Amino acid sequence: IVYFDLETTGLIVQLAAVSGGHSLNLYVIPRTRMHKGASKVTGFKVRRQRLFLHRQCVLTNSLREVLVSFIAFLRMLRRPLVIGHDCRLLARALDELDLRALFESSISGCVDTLPLARELLKDRSLHSFRQQNLVSELLGVDYRAHDALEDVRALQALYEVLQPTPEVLRRHIFTLDTIESNVAVTAAKSESPCMMPGQRPLWEHFKETVKVTENNN
């Protein structure tokens, strides 16, 4: 099983994934201006094409490289089940960069813990099914939300508490083809990865795991 989370400020700025002792934590400079309200809530801020998290500069790559690296991470784990809390944003990003087929071939299926929690907890009087609220209600833990790595670790703990039966889990396994997406498939040409001297593109670290053809047109 691979647990993943996306942090957004309107667009994706961070992707994190965890599976056992393996983890992935990657950042993206958003392609549109970040609103002050989003910066205040998440701790992310862009200055001179560099991304800062709580005033610390973080290395960034293009959204394509981040998603390709995520796919390579999945392939390394031999078609795992992927679990996230509201998977629609991932589906839209994969569609936009024409990576859905590659992603689908790398996994055995997806489970969205949002509808799963709604089914398993339908008899409880919960005012919100946001992940942070579910973790607080079920685990009695308050954690630093708006950090994808913290969110994904909390998601793993939440799933272990939900304990869906195999029958319930089977009902919730789906492919991204079942998620409607009206986003046109367009190249994200405006992304500018922020790399330090000597830093290689992320996909080069995985080139033996997944072959990628960059479209520079």
Q: Is 79 left (phi over 0), alpha (psi -120 to 50) or beta?
A: left
Closest CA to 212 of 97, 61, 109, 110: 97
Q: What are phi and psi of 113, to 5 degrees?
A: -75, -10
Single-letter amino acid code for the residue at 140: G
Q: What is the pLDDT of residues 151-204, one digit of tens each?
A: 999 999 999 999 999 999 999 999 877 765 433 333 343 344 444 444 444 444
Higher per-residue pLDDT: 108 or 209 = 108
Token code pair at residue 141: 């833990």
What are the structural domains, with CATH classification, of the chain?
Answer: 2-180 (3.30.420.10)
pLDDT in tens, 107-151: 999 999 999 999 999 988 888 898 888 998 999 888 766 788 889
3-state secondary structure of 160: helix
56 forms beta bridges with: 53
Tokens of 117: 């929690």
* pLDDT tens profile 85-110: 878 889 999 999 999 999 999 999 99
Q: Is the pLDDT score of 217 beyond 80? A: no
Provide the pLDDT for residue 35: 78
Tell me the two tokens of residue 33: 């201006």
Q: Which residue, 94, 120, 121, is CA-closest to 175?
A: 94
Q: Output the pLDDT for position 89.
A: 87
Query: Cα–Cα distances in Å, from 117 out to 43, 45, 128, 155, 169?
Result: 28, 32, 11, 11, 11
pLDDT of 165:
95
